[in-house]
Amino acid sequence: MNASESADPGLLALAEDFREALRHSIYLVRRLDADGELSAAQLSMLKMLLDAGRAAGGVRVGEIARNLGVKVPSATEQIIKLERAGLARREPDPDDSRAVRVTLTDAGLAAVASANERRNTVMAGVLSSLSDEDRAALAAALPVIGRINATLLA
C-alpha cells in the first residue's frame, strides 16, 4: 500500500467520525436495554425470528447465526435460553434431519412486541428534544447506515 493507493483524507475523517458515533451509541443501546427483562441479544434474536421466519416454517440455526453475526454454538446457546423461557420452539426440519427449525411462540411474539414498544417510547422521548432539521438529517442517514451494515454483513 503506497501513497497513491492510500485513502482520501476526507473519507478517513468521515470514517473516524462515524466510528466514534457508533462507539458512543453502544452505550446508548446499553442504557436502552438495561430496563427490560429481555437482554439485547435475546431481543435481537426474537426480532430476527419475527422477520425471517414469517413465511417459512421457522429459521435454521445456521441461518440465525449468520443473520446475527455470531457463530453457530452461540446461536444454539441463545435459542436454548429462549426455549426455556417459552419464547421460541425448536422443531426438526422435515426435509433435512440434520437441521433444526426455530420458530417464535405466541409468548415470544408478545414479548418482542412489548419490548420493542417500551424501547421505542424511550427513544422517541430522546428524539422529541431534537429540532425538525436534526430529525430530518437522522432520517435521511438511516438508509445509508442500513446499506453500510448490509455491506459488512454480506
Partner DNA sequence: GTTCATAGTTAGGTAGCCTAACAGTTAGGC
Partner DNA sequence: GCCTAACTGTTAGGCTACCTAACTATGAAC
Using CB under 8 A as the binding rule, whether residue 72 contacts its own copies is answered as no
Q: Within positions 122 to 141, which residues make up the interface with its own copies, using CB under 8 A? A: 123-130, 134-135, 137-141
Q: Does position 52 bind DNA by CB under 7 A?
A: no
Q: Which of 49, 79, 111, 112 binds DNA (CB under 7 A)?
A: 79
Residue 90, all three cell numbers: 425448536
Any contact of residue 86 with DNA (CB under 7 A)?
no
Tally of helices (H runs) and strands (E runs) in the chain: 6, 3
The least CB distance from residue 51 to DNA, in Å, is 17
CB contact at 8 A, 55 and 103:
no
Q: Which cell goes with 51?
A: 422477520
Contact between 74 and DNA by CB under 7 A: the answer reads yes
Got the DSSP string for 106-136?
Answer: HHHHHHHHHHHHHHHHHHHHHHTTS-HHHHH
74-113: which residues touch its own copies (CB under 8 A)? none
Q: Is 146 in the site for its own copies (CB under 8 A)?
A: yes
Looking at residue 81, the DSSP 8-state letter turns out to be H
Using alpha carbons, select from 95, 7, 102, 128 the residue that is nearest to residue 45: 102
Residue placing its CB nearer to DNA in the complex, 22 or 141: 22
Among 26, 24, 38, smallest CA distance to 118 is for 38
What pairing do the DSSP bridges indicate for beta strands 100-104 and 59-60? antiparallel
Min dist. Cβ of residue 139 to DNA (A): 28
Among the listed residues 14, 22, 80, 126, the single contact to DNA using CB under 7 A: 80
Binding site for DNA (CB under 7 A): 39-42, 60-63, 68-81, 90, 93, 96-100
